[in-house]
Amino acid sequence: MTLPIIIDTDPGQDDAVAIMLALASPEIEVLGLTTVAGNVPVHLTSMNALKVCELAGRQEIPVFAGAARPLVRSPVTAEEVHGRTGLDGPILPVPKMPLQTTYAVDFIVDTLMARPAGTVTVCTLGPLTNLGLALLREPRIATRIRQIVTMGGGYFEQGNITPSAEFNIYVDPHAARLVLESGAPITLIPLDCTHQLLTTKARVSQFKKMQNLAGPAIADMLEFFERYDEAKYGPDDAPLHDPSVIAWLLEPTLFEGKLVNVSIECESQLTMGATVIDWWRVTGRPHNAMVIGSANAEGFFKLLSTRIARLP
Ligand code: RIB
Ligand code: CA
């Protein structure tokens, strides 16, 4: 029994690795990729999503372009981290496969309304604008989603783009609030978890020596992507964020977390986009998310490299 998922994404090197992990895993059926403005503008995240599908030899995967800007705030991008293209590192060919003509938000709504309730998982790897717009357009999807698995936020680790906010939430805090208040089952994988998943040179070398196209391409992505975080966190200390979302679906026992309340700061300029996570349950707020606080890093990278080795 495969798990049908939609991946909402802003590739981004770490998004690319997450997408390839999903495409390399027979337990998962990727119904489509929906792209969003985030690390780079949406025309580039869309182009990058097509490149990743072709790199994985999966030209049949439909890719739908989505929101070009957040619900309320002005766009924020991260070329300083991901490069001008958003997927700097490997030289990947211009994709032959076309973008779908359907708008990503319509694909999300139409898929969730057409498929049996409780069967489709939505994995978000970037700002939550598309999912927020889908909830505004058709609130009933909140009761039909099997679960939302989101990379975003931070508690003990606080933020990465500001001292108090993680990038995906910071870019569109209003969309994040909509999703967290939707009532849909949510698993949130914050920096507290992904900062335990470090792309050390030994781990990157596992990809570099693979005898396929995917492995060395991922090594090139990681070596580009990690340079920014190594300057910030120290050598060999660059975290790998987005593949944790797919790894959680594949092997949830690699992770630990608890059901708590997560609220989003949407007013303060100082702490805009902060995920206020009631980890010690000191408020009476509803427990609206399973927040993942820790991961088995060795197990995660073993799963990731084993699966990537299966790709062309
Ligand atoms: O803060 C890390 C997140 O922001 C990752 O999803 C990365 O791709 C960027 O989108
Ligand atoms: Ca991302």
**Euclidean distance between CA atoms 269 and 87, whole angstroms:** 30
Looking from the CA of residue 191, the nearest atom of ligand 1 is 1
pLDDT at site 1: 86
Tell me, yes or no, if 241 is annotated catalytic: yes
Beta carbons of 130 and 122 less than 8 angstroms apart: no
What number is the average pLDDT over the span 8-34? 98
pLDDT at site 226: 83
Identify the CATH number of the domain in which residue 217 sits.
3.90.245.10
pLDDT at site 34: 99
Size (the chain), residues: 312
For residue 282, give the 3-state DSSP assignment: coil
Could you tell me the distance, in angstroms and rounded to a whole number, from the CA of residue 220 to the centre of ligand 2? 17
Helix (H) or strand (E) holding 146: strand 145-151
The overall average pLDDT reported for the chain is 97
Q: Is the pLDDT of residue 228 over 90?
A: no
pLDDT at site 297: 98
Whole-model pTM: value is 0.98
What number is the average pLDDT over the span 47-61? 98
Q: Is the pLDDT of residue 231 over 90?
A: no
Ligand positioned closest to the Cα atom of 167: 1
Q: What distance, in Å, lies between the first and last C-alpha atoms of the chain?
A: 24
For residue 24, give the 3-state DSSP assignment: coil
Beta carbons of 255 and 294 less than 8 angstroms apart: yes
Give the active site residue among 43, 174, 195, 241.
241
Domain that holds residue 42: 3-308
Number of domains observed in the structure of the chain: 1
The residue whose CA is least distant from atom 10 of ligand 1 is 126
The CA–CA distances, whole Å, from 186 to 79, 81, 213, 292 equal 29, 27, 34, 11
What number is the average pLDDT over the span 228-237? 82
What number is the average pLDDT over the span 277-305? 97
